[in-house]
Structure 1
Amino acid sequence: MKSIKLFCPATVANLSCGFDVLGLCLDNVGDEMIIHKTNEPGVRITKIVGADLPLEAEKNVAGVAALSMLSQWQTDFGFDIEIHKKIKAGSGIGSSAASAAGAVFGINELLGKPFEPKDLVWFAGWGEHAASGSYHADNVAPALLGGFTLVRGYNPLDVIKIDSPPDLFVAVIHPQIEVKTAEARAVLKKEVPLKAAIAQWGNVGGLVAGLYTHDYELIGRCLHDGVAEPYRKALIPGFDETKKTAMAHGALGAGISGSGPSIFALCKGLSTAEKVADAMSDIYETIGLPYHRHVSPVNPDGVKILEQQ
């Protein structure tokens, strides 16, 4: 194989109660990436379409992730990467994670798959570190593995994939403003009160149980965030009203996607997800703030191969 073309999916991280440990993979929202094997060693970002991002591999999340992987697997050839960005940077639906995940997945395929999926998550996390200044895998894990993922721990990395209940859909509204991950982290408190921590632990456990047992009501009861949302929602115009509206139109629960500004809602059934997305869109029509709207099932596979030669 000399080249590979990939679909690199968007993701929703945190899922309200699971700050830095929970995420899910979207199915119809994502970037495309083309990776060519070359005779010249090293990694080069040769083209970026749809975003103004660094071409230098050491400054680009895809390049950083790829170099991290190649530091563990020496080759006498290299790779050229084309990135076609369709996920806006700072959107809160895993733009940097899509690039990092696509790079390590594609190069691993071109190398003959020497690394396991868990290894790819580890390498891709270094791309996230370059983007935000902190190592986290709650976006790259679902982008690579699909479904829902739980990052149980980082030392060593321990990621559990959880298959999605069959009738679960995601509605996402993306107000066209940018919230940088580093800025969204800066507004958080350094310490969490014990009462809030206990509530958060209970909701994480309940959400995981609900996913395994396909208990949609339990899933909804657990989509609460007392750690990050109270501080981050001030960065998102219309957040409280949008969340309230989503719930009023049948969402199981709603919250901030990643560090924002996107707002997600989990819904039982496609028709409910469409109604919720329409209702959330109406809020931003009223505010007069441009937005993108997405309705998606949960992608069970993660990064997908579109073409290979």
Structure 2
Amino acid sequence: MREFGYERVFDVSGAVALLGADPDARFLGGGTNLVDLMKTGVERPARLIDVRELPLDRIESARDGGLRIGATVTNSDLAAHPEVRRRYPALSQAVLAGASGQLRNMATVGGNLLQRTRCGYFTDLTKPCNKRAPGSGCPAIEGEHHNHAILGASGHCVATHPSDMAVALAAFDAVVGYETADGPGELPLTELYRPVGDTPHLETTLPAGALITGVTLPPAPVAALSRYRKVRERASYAFAIGSIAAALDVQDGVVREVRLAFGAVASRPWRARQAERLLTGGPASAEAFAAAADAELADAEVLPHNGYKVPLTRNLVVAVLTELTEEAAR
């Protein structure tokens, strides 16, 4: 591991100023992803700026009925918060599905959103990777890709985004707040991640030197009846091979509102807006759920060993929306 400097900061402006003065520095939250990448040599920061003591560790109700979640809130605290569990249960479920208890105790909300892909070629310095070394190639396309993207990928990268939390946040129209030397700003979470295109090494739309300060969840009554379902290759802690965050409002057998986001199918959380449009105002039936899923997945581009993700995601949509429909009828 490369030698590095370390500095703990206690105010947001000081943290931003330190990073601005040292482009080779990195912000450190829980370190559950960054430190691993430092050990493998993928990340080689000259300095770590520890932001865990910043006053960003609270979850507060907003005046409009939403929630404000600070960037240094731990995953454990987020999942256990009574207002998260009551108003956005799929978010709590996603966080609990996303890591072991030890990792959740360390990992932060801001760090979770910025974690990098777990593609084996990305983390192996002996292999080419366009995300790690632009222009070197994407060996996953011809190699091991059974858990790689089927939506929104390109010939330059087929890696998937690993976050479970971000999938639920995408379904609920979360907004990411950040601070730069020029002041505060915000982005819809669905716009935080760049399309892969021919620049997979450019992963987010955050301005240079930006520090994520929190996430705002707007009021969403539909989110009270929501669920996160994750499929993985073993029962214990593992990254998803497919996941869904769903929320549903059904009245008299008709879908009044629906939210859908998929995980483990793209380089970013995939908001299924086409499926949402097709379902809204229509019958809450397994047939309608399947047709909407098929429409959303119609543009999937599969590789020889990841085509199973299409029926897997379709089945997740049908199963979870059916469960929510039955729950709404009780």
User: Could you say whether these structures have the same fold, taking a TM-score greater than 0.5 normalized by the shorter chain as the test?
Assistant: no
**Greater strand share, 1 or 2?**
1
Decide which structure has the larger Cα Rg and report it.
2
Q: TM-score, normalised by structure 1?
A: 0.31
**Greater helix share, 1 or 2?**
1
